[in-house]
Amino acid sequence: MSILERADLLGARRVVVKVGSSSISGENAEKIGPIVEALAAAHARGTEVVLVSSGAIATGMPYLALDERPVDLATQQAAAAVGQNVLIYRYQDALRSFAIVAGQVLLTAGDLENTTHRSNARRAMERLLGLRILPIVNENDTVATHEIRFGDNDRLAALVAELIGADALVLLSDIECLYTMPPNEPGARPIETVAFGEDLSAFQFGSVVVNSVGTGGAATKVSAARLAAAAGIGVLVTSADLVSDALAGAQIGTWFAPDTSVVPSSHTGTTRTSVAAS
């Protein structure tokens, strides 16, 4: 089905949900429970759900006695190796009461640029979804380098959504919606809907934010949303605290309308030209 409006999320066939490090690590680790509950409710309705979850490095930091996100690649890789294991355990522990099994999928940018690897990744996730497994996707930080990274998991989520022909992408943030300028500044107005191809140059989304646990910000979400929308996928940007309402089609967040002239690849059964290299 085509997801043209937020309300259509309630009956979506396939949805990718992305959650950031700050929403599920440190003192917010307990938020994994409510997020999983919302995903499980969508799963019970018959929606195929893929979760793109940041947080491996942030989750691993306390185990390496680190107070701040490491800047050197080797320590980032070490923290990711430890944290990814703990992160998946926390998700699976929360999913257990819903009788849902998680499947870990770790990707690098090269995996989506190489034709064979890309095909393998798609086939694996299609099979997981066919088995009613909930794929949990993250960048493979343990082997990724600074030169070949997605840059942020918002972009990874958009590319995964395109890869599997998702109907919609939900990007979870720390705020309910995007604003015309940073929300703490006078005159900032919420953005309810962005039409496909709409000029956003007058808005101030700011640069990428790097905090103590991860990377991201409004600018990366706008970029990822426009990437997915160009692939025919509607995108909702909203707060992680509102994930249940988001998946139920509530009138919340910022909705990026998709290019209606493009049909997501899995709807046609064919492989379209990848947006990974765009």
Q: Which two tokens stand for residue 121?
A: 């990744």
Tell me which residue range forms the domain holding 237.
Answer: 6-267
Residues contacting 116, CB < 8 A, separation 6+: none
208 assigned to some structural domain: yes
Q: Does residue 102 register a pLDDT over 90?
A: yes
Cβ neighbours, 10 Å, residue 175:
17
% of residues, the chain, pLDDT over 70: 87
Helix residue ranges per DSSP H, the chain: 21-24, 32-44, 56-60, 73-95, 109-113, 115-130, 153-163, 218-230, 243-247, 265-268
The reply, when asked if residue 174 is annotated as ligand binding, is yes
CATH number, position 21: 3.40.1160.10
Laid out side by side, the sheet with 134-139 consists of 102-107, 134-139, 48-53, 14-19, 168-173, 234-239, 254-256, 193-194
| Residue 52 near residue 16 (C-beta atoms within 8 A) | yes
The C-alpha atoms of residue 182 and residue 23 are separated, in whole angstroms, by: 19
The whole-number average pLDDT for the span 117-127 is 96
Question: pLDDT for 163-175, tens place per residue?
Answer: 999 999 999 988 8
3-state SS assignment for residue 18: strand
The reply, when asked if residue 54 is annotated as ligand binding, is yes
The C-alpha atoms of residue 211 and residue 154 are separated, in whole angstroms, by: 16
Q: Does residue 181 register a pLDDT over 50?
A: yes
Q: Does residue 129 register a pLDDT over 60?
A: yes
275 assigned to some structural domain: no
The reply, when asked if residue 140 is annotated as ligand binding, is no
**Exposed/middle/buried for 227, CB within 10 Å: 0-12, 13-18, 19+?**
buried
pTM assigned to the model: 0.89
Q: What's the confidence (pLDDT) of residue 50?
A: 98
The C-alpha atoms of residue 265 and residue 220 are separated, in whole angstroms, by: 24
Q: Does residue 206 register a pLDDT over 70?
A: no
% of residues, the chain, pLDDT over 90: 67
The whole-number average pLDDT for the span 249-259 is 96
Q: Supply the DSSP string of 158-216, one letter for each residue.
A: HHHHHHTT-SEEEEEESSSS-BSS-TTSTT--B--EE-TT---TTS-----EE-SS-EE
274 assigned to some structural domain: no
Domain count, the chain: 1
- Which range (11-15, 62-66, 108-112) has the least confidence? 108-112
The reply, when asked if residue 221 is annotated as ligand binding, is no
- Which range (138-142, 238-242, 252-256) has the least confidence? 138-142
| Residue 216 near residue 209 (C-beta atoms within 8 A) | yes
272 assigned to some structural domain: no
Residue 74 DSSP label: H
**Exposed/middle/buried for 219, CB within 10 Å: 0-12, 13-18, 19+?**
middle
278 assigned to some structural domain: no
| Residue 235 near residue 171 (C-beta atoms within 8 A) | yes
The reply, when asked if residue 21 is annotated as ligand binding, is no
Q: What's the confidence (pLDDT) of residue 202?
A: 78
3-state SS assignment for residue 77: helix
Q: Does residue 276 register a pLDDT over 80?
A: no
